[in-house]
Amino acid sequence: MKKTVRAVGLVLLLLLALGMTACKGGANDIKTPTNAGNFFEKDPEHDFGGKEFVILSWWDSTPAKGSPQEAFLAKIAQKYNISKITWVSVPADTYMNRITTDMASGNIADVCWLKGEDFISMASKNMLQEINADFKESKVYIENFSNSFTYNGKQYGLVSDTYPEGLIYNKDLLSDFGFEDPMKLFLEGKWTWDAFREMCIGVMANNATDTENAKYGLGANTNCSTIGGLLNFIYSNGSSLFGEKNGKVTHSFEDANSMEALQFVHNLINVDKASTEELINENLSWGMFHGGVVAFVTSSGYGVEYTKNFNVDFDFGLVPYPKGPKASDNTTYISGINGVVFPVGTKDPIGASKVFEDFLIVEILPKLLDSDGDIDVKLWDEYFKRGKIYFSDDRLMRMCTDDNQISDLIKVIEVQKGSAATGYGMNPIINEMMLKIGQGKETPASAVASRKQQLQGAIDTILNQK
Query: DSSP labels for 399-457?
Result: TSS-HHHHHHHHHHHTT-EEEE---TT-HHHHHHHHHHHHTTSS-HHHHHHTTHHHHHH
Mean pLDDT across the stretch 179-205?
A: 92
CB atoms within 10 A of CB 134: 18
Q: Is the domain of 176 the same as that of 274? A: yes
Identify which has the larger pLDDT, 49 or 157.
49
| CATH assignment at residue 203 | 3.40.190.10
What is the chain's mean pLDDT, rounded?
78
Q: Is the domain of 341 the same as that of 323? A: no
Task: Note the pLDDT of residue 36.
Answer: 63
CB atoms within 10 A of CB 69: 18
Question: How far apart, in Å, do the first and last CA atoms of the chain sit?
Answer: 62
Residues in CB range of 377: below 8 A, 6 or more apart: 35, 36, 37
Q: Is the domain of 186 the same as that of 328? A: yes
Mean pLDDT across the stretch 218-235?
A: 73
Mean pLDDT across the stretch 69-95?
A: 93
**Across 1-10, 34-43, 54-63, 283-292, which has the greatest mean pLDDT?**
54-63
Lowest mean pLDDT among 190-199, 256-265, 266-275, 299-308: 299-308
3-state per-residue secondary structure call for 247-266:
CEEEECCCCHHHHHHHHHHH
Q: Is the domain of 183 the same as that of 40? A: no
Q: Is the domain of 98 the same as that of 146? A: yes
For residue 446, the Cα-to-chain-centroid distance in whole angstroms is 31
Question: Looking at the predicted structure, is the pLDDT value of residue 18 above 60?
Answer: no
Report the percent of the chain where pLDDT is more than 70.
76
Mean pLDDT across the stretch 382-403?
A: 47
Could you tell me if residue 300 is left (phi over 0), alpha (psi between -120 and 50 degrees) or otherwise beta? beta
* Residue 402: exposure state from Cβ atoms within 10 A (0-12, 13-18, ≥19): exposed
CA dist 364 and 384 (Å) reads: 11
Inter-residue contact 242 to 424 (CB < 8 Å): yes
Residues in CB range of 110: below 8 A, 6 or more apart: 53, 54, 55, 342, 346, 347, 352, 355
Q: Is the domain of 111 the same as that of 83? A: yes
Comparing CA positions, the residue from 307, 332, 283 lying closest to residue 163 is 332
7 is a domain residue = no
Beta strand 248-251 pairing with 242-245: antiparallel
CA dist 8 and 439 (Å) reads: 32
- Per-residue pLDDT tens over the stretch 206-219: 887 888 888 999 98
Q: How many domains does the chain have?
A: 2
Lowest mean pLDDT among 34-48, 66-80, 398-412: 398-412
Extract the runs of DSSP E, i.e. beta strands, from 90-230. 111-115, 150-151, 154-155, 157-170, 216-219
14 is a domain residue = no
CB atoms within 10 A of CB 195: 17
Could you tell me if residue 50 is left (phi over 0), alpha (psi between -120 and 50 degrees) or otherwise beta? left
Q: Is the domain of 311 the same as that of 362? A: no
Domain holding 407, by residue range, is 21-163+337-419
Q: Is the domain of 361 the same as that of 456? A: no
Identify which has the larger pLDDT, 10 or 350.
350
Inter-residue contact 75 to 69 (CB < 8 Å): no
